[in-house]
Amino acid sequence: MPSAPRPSTTRPFAGFEFLIAWRYLRAKRAEGGVSVMTWISFLGIMLAVMALIATLAVRSGFRHEFVGTILGANAHASVIPMARENQAGRVQRVLPDYEAVAERLRTVPGVTHAFPIIRNQVMAAGEGANAGVEVIGISAADLAQVPLVADPEVAQGDLSRFEEGIALGSGVARSLNVGVGDRIRLISPDGARTAFGTSPRISAYEVVYIFQVGRYDIDRVRAYLPFGEAQTYFNRDGVADEVEIIVETPEEVDAMVLPLTRAARADAIIWTWRDSSGSFLRALQMEDNVMFIILSILVLIATMNIVSGLIMLVKNKSRDIGILRTVGLSEGSILRVFFICGASVGVAGTLAGVALGVAFAIWIDPIFGFVNWMAGGGVWDPSVRFLSTLPARLEWGDVLSAVALSLGLSFTITFIPARRAARMNPVEALRYE
């Protein structure tokens, strides 16, 4: 005896389910409240996703700019000597055999350059103005290995004349009211030793080069002197303060600390760029995590509007739900119809938010330039933030995270009222209509 034919079932997300959902989203004028809630949900999700993507782009830009300027304007690691007493009984931190130390460091795999420097802080005097500066004594060949100084954002003068004078950061030059060709005086309290004590040392140098790397804390305080001249000026004859190291992969410099220490073979420590900036990087990472959580809550609040809209839609369409169930639609079909209604709003809002967020990240400089102009300036103060421009770096991993978060919340939130609609008793739905 042949078995009875099984009742035909429709495949999930069939075309008619999308058609019904589309008709429900296009509410009649008498049901304008549903349409208004749909637009509110759409705008809320769009703005939340845009804010999330823009914030993540600025976050990535800050990190990339910060790390880039550190690696481009500074050494990746330094050999810093331990304190020791000299013959006069004074405590010093110097490397007497700096050439041998640098030569041994160059043999370490992964090291591209190693060079000695002199580092000290003095007072600089220009055209009627004074400023404290950090002077770094370095040879012209070694200075050419510092990318953001040898090839900065903005430069004036000729770096090939470095051995004839001094190189200044743009902020230092502005504070001293000097330009290329002018002369400045360096004043150090630790000068020549006489029978009457130590007299200040004052030397004048011609400004031959002015650089701007884009970080306020570098451009505002840094100056470079030829290495031999710095040795003479700071009483460092035959010694160096540090040996700086450039490596191929700065992100992996921590793994090179032990080989560098062994190669140095000196009473010194290896200080990496992560050691000097590690606390800031950790604080930045913590801030990033907190910011993502806060903006995720904002996206959640925006997706909650979908629930309000769907609840109103279910209430207005209760009679339709009863009729559809009577003609044979299953609970699953009803659930999918209303799920499509809510998910469509979430998908549309997410896509629009992604488009606006990406556009904002790409055009962030003109946007903030306009805002700064409208506010009369002062919106972006480089002296506070240490960056001359607002950086933004669009990373597709951040975009995908924002999309996944928005769609995941939208789909999850939508399921709740859709399930309520599917479980509605058709008899009760028709009775009160």
- Strand 130-138, strand 193-194: pairing: unpaired
Cα(156)–Cα(138) distance, rounded to whole angstroms? 19
pLDDT of residue 7: 45
Predicted local distance difference test score (pLDDT) of residue 191: 63
Q: Rounded to an integer, what distance in angstroms lies between the CA atom of residue 147 and that of residue 74?
A: 9
Phi, psi angle pair for 70, to nearest 5° = -60, -50
Domain ranges of the chain: 15-66+281-431, 83-266
Question: What gap in Å lies between CA 339 and CA 351, rounded to an integer?
Answer: 18
- 144 phi, psi to nearest 5 deg: -65, -15
Location of structure tokens 């790409």: 362
For 101-128, give one letter per residue: b (16+ CB within 10 A) or e: bbebbeebeebebbbbbbbbebebbbee
Residue linked to tokens 């000068």: 191
Tokens of 305: 């509007």
For residues 105 and 91, what is the distance between their CA atoms, to the nearest angstrom? 26
- Determine the Cα–Cα distance for residues 391 and 283; give it in Å rounded to an integer: 18
At 194 the pLDDT is: 60
Task: Flag whether the pTM goes above 0.85.
Answer: no
Torsion of CA 72, 246, 163, 210, to 10 degrees: 10
232: its two tokens: 């003479």
Q: Give the Å distances, CA to CA, from 150 to 71, 102, 181, 212, 393.
A: 13, 21, 19, 10, 24
SS3 content of the chain, % helix, strand, coil (to 5): 55, 20, 25
Beta-carbon contacts of residue 224 (< 8 Å; ≥ 6 apart): 135, 136, 137, 138, 143, 149, 162, 166, 167
pLDDT tens by residue, the chain, 433 residues: 444 444 445 677 677 777 777 777 765 554 444 567 778 888 889 999 999 998 888 888 888 877 888 888 888 999 998 877 666 556 677 888 899 999 999 999 999 999 999 999 999 998 888 989 999 999 999 998 888 888 887 889 999 999 999 999 999 999 999 999 999 999 988 766 665 556 688 899 999 999 988 777 788 999 999 999 999 998 888 899 999 999 999 888 989 999 999 998 778 889 999 888 877 778 878 888 888 888 888 888 888 888 877 777 777 777 777 777 777 777 777 778 888 888 888 899 999 999 999 998 888 877 777 777 777 666 565 554 555 567 778 888 889 999 999 999 888 888 888 877 777 766 665 555 5
- β-bridge pairing 154-157 and 201-212: antiparallel
Question: Which is it for strands 222-226 and 130-138: parallel, antiparallel or unpaired?
Answer: parallel
Helix (H) or strand (E) holding 285: helix 273-316
State the SS3 of 194-249: ECCEECCEEEEEEEEEEEECCEHHHHCCEEEEEHHHHHHHCCCCCCECEEEEEECC
The DSSP symbol for 153 reads S
pLDDT at 227: 94
Q: Would you state the torsion angle of the CA atoms of residues 263, 266, 269, 272, taken in this order, to the nearest 10 degrees?
A: -40
Task: Give the pLDDT score at 8.
Answer: 47
Q: What's the pLDDT score for residue 428?
A: 62
CB 410 within 8 Å of CB 350:
yes
